Amino acid sequence: MLTEKGGLALAAAALAFAITAQTPAFAQDQSEKEIERYRAMISDPFSNPGFLNVDRGEELWKKPRGKKNVSLETCDLGEGPGKVDGAYAKLPRFFKDTGKVMDLEQRLLHCMKTIQDLETKDIVKRKFSPSNRASNSDMEDLVGFIANKSNGMKISQPLSHPEEKKMFKIGEALFYKRSATNDFSCATCHGEPGKRIRLQGLPQLNKPGPDAQLTQATWPTYRVSQGQLRTVQHRIWDCYRQMRMPRVEYASDGVTALNVYLNKMAEGGELAVPSIKR
């Protein structure tokens, strides 16, 4: 037997149920709105721990290290020795001294070896800080610092040198290359507009436009779920993990080639890094 009060509560509950759980489509919209709200909430640069990496990166850039006990401040990132401003917006690019197209990580490792005579084996070993523990990656810090120095600038992928063109074509081919136990390629998830994996929206990355711009212009990013600043190297490494592929070698030419391709699709995207993401 229901009391009047109990009956009312039941009616109210039924009404609430009718409002909040009407249809799966409605619940779907609500979940997406909540995710949007969460994203907006964490997108506050003043509370973004990624800027701690930027500060540490600047220290590392200026700190004398290696057998030669010198800093990285004479390293040429493409804009001239020691010039950091705007360098990230134009990487990867061809470097005459190595005869290779290099991304930021490859170039930094090159400068550590040639300028500082620094043992990079240990640096590469600490390429990714462990999730949700103390940060220990020089590379995450340095990339955070240098990328941040291109903030507000537009991605402008150099493609005039034949080697840069070649790397673009290789990157494009890698994007469509299907393999392993699940037949996946980058294009499986990022080849069409407006798709989702579970509730996560998937950017289309094989077409020039806002999807690619927004993606490439927001890495490196502070990943809340991992409690670390993550770079494009980590993003691609993690994509291949999900694709059931073996570990991608850090700072390998394949990652650089993919980056040339992705940055060309993202041409004109305005860098805002480090960003903050789930």
Active site residues: 239
Read off the amino acid at residue 74: T
Nearer to another protein, 58 or 172 (CB): 172
Interacting residues toward another protein by CB under 8 A: 24, 27-28, 31, 159, 165-166, 168-170, 172-174, 176-185, 187-189, 192, 194-200, 202, 241-242, 244-249, 252-255, 257, 264
User: Least Å distance between CB 151 and another protein?
Assistant: 27
Angle, vertex CA 78, rays to CA 77 and CA 79, nearest 5: 100
Give the C-alpha distances (Å, rounded to integers) separating 97 from 100, 107, 134, 159.
8, 11, 36, 18
Nearer to another protein, 31 or 47 (CB): 31
Which secondary-structure segment (H or E) carries 253?
A: helix 253-265
User: Least Å distance between CB 62 and another protein?
Assistant: 33
User: Residue 207: which region, alpha, beta or left (left: phi > 0; alpha: psi -120 to 50)?
Assistant: beta
User: Least Å distance between CB 112 and another protein?
Assistant: 20
In whole angstroms, give the CA distance from residue 124 to residue 137. 9
Nearer to another protein, 66 or 209 (CB): 209
Nearer to another protein, 1 or 19 (CB): 19
User: Least Å distance between CB 91 and another protein?
Assistant: 17
Provide φ and ψ at 75, rounded to 5°: -65, 130
Nearer to another protein, 55 or 249 (CB): 249
User: Least Å distance between CB 164 and another protein?
Assistant: 9
Give the C-alpha distances (Å, rounded to integers) separating 38 from 42, 196, 238, 239.
6, 18, 23, 23
In whole angstroms, give the CA distance from residue 266 to residue 263. 5
CB 116 within 8 A of CB 65: yes
CB 64 within 8 A of CB 70: yes
The pair of structure tokens assigned to 64 is 């004398």
